[in-house]
């Protein structure tokens, strides 16, 4: 099972040699917020430090952001064709399949929620047809629906399990196309009314925290925040 680390751009400089040895893949960007997309410089820096694989996460996008991110991703893929794209947008999928058909693509959360509920053979047909090689998930209870051998990889995110997603930013209180990304590195615990359960506000989304992870995934992505 492969090990990956999800990190914010600003933390790239804090990576140690032992991190680069321990984790074979590094995730940048966000599956949940279109404003958190890494710079080309960050990708170059990570590659220069010796990261074996780099995965760029992209959430669902409005038109203006899709236009912007297509340009940035094209630039990244031209320089680093092996960068994986973890995508949450079918418009971006169409673009990549047209212009970068050999790019390695995975379906991001929460888009993957629909895929995790598909019947295995239908899912495999869809993924092969659309040149998608992996699915990102945090739903350990559903991994058993896709026993090996399978025609795709299942990448499991740990320890945060997705519960809800907003477009209005928890920190800004509104929807915006650009921001200063003050949320990076922050998580805010919120107690569920009338219970002792805690969810965490991270980017635009809300998560619970798990203490264990399942067998059956091809890659585990650790989120250090």
Partner 1 sequence: MIIQAGARNWSDFFYYLENGASEIYCALNGIPGHCYRGKDFETPSEILKAAKSAHEKGVRLYMVANEVQAGLFDITVSTVREMVKNGIDGVIIRDLSILEALKRKKIKTEFILSSLALCFNKETLKFYSDMGISRIAIPEQLLPSEARNIVKNNLGISTEIFLSAREYCVVLNGFCYLSDFTGKCICRDPFKSGHRNRFLPRPDSKEHFSRLYDFYSMGVNTLKIGRHPHGHYARLLFQEAKAILKLLESGIDKKNFIEKSLEIDSKIGLILNKGVKRK
Residues forming contacts to partner 1 in the complex (CB under 8 A) are 60-66, 88-95, 110-111, 113-114, 117-119, 122-123, 126, 145, 162-170, 172-175, 188-195, 197, 199, 206
Nearer to partner 1, 52 or 122 (CB): 122
| CA-to-CA dists, residue 117 to 24, 38, 108, 137, angstroms | 28, 30, 14, 11
Nearer to partner 1, 43 or 116 (CB): 116
| CA-to-CA dists, residue 186 to 49, 67, 153, 196, 225, angstroms | 25, 28, 30, 21, 7
Nearer to partner 1, 45 or 131 (CB): 131
| CA-to-CA dists, residue 15 to 110, 132, 187, angstroms | 28, 30, 20
Least CB distance to partner 1 at residue 200 (A): 10
Least CB distance to partner 1 at residue 209 (A): 14
45 touches 52 (CB < 8 A): no
65 touches 34 (CB < 8 A): yes
Least CB distance to partner 1 at residue 15 (A): 31
Nearer to partner 1, 21 or 188 (CB): 188
């Amino acid at each position: 099972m492969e090990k990956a680390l999800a990190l914010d751009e600003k933390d790239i400089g804090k990576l140690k040699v032992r991190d680069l040895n321990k984790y074979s893949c590094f995730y940048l960007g966000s599956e949940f917020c279109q404003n958190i997309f890494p710079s080309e410089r960050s990708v170059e820096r990570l590659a220069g430090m010796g990261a074996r694989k780099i995965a760029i996460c992209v959430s669902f996008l409005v038109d203006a952001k899709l236009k912007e991110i297509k340009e940035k991703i094209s630039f990244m893929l031209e320089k680093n064709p092996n960068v994986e794209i973890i995508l949450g947008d079918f418009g971006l999928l169409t673009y990549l399949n047209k212009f970068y058909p050999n790019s390695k693509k995975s379906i991001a959360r929460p888009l993957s929620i629909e895929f995790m509920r598909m019947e295995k053979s239908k899912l495999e047909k869809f993924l092969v047809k659309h040149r998608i090689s992996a699915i990102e998930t945090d739903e350990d209870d559903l991994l058993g629906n896709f026993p090996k051998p399978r025609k795709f990889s299942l990448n499991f995110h740990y320890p945060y399990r997705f519960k809800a997603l907003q477009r209005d930013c928890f920190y800004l209180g509104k929807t915006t196309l650009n921001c200063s990304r003050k949320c990076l590195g922050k998580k805010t615990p919120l107690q569920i009314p009338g219970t002792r359960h805690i969810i965490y506000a991270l980017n635009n989304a809300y998560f619970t925290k798990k203490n264990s992870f399942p067998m059956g995934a091809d890659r585990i992505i650790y989120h250090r925040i």
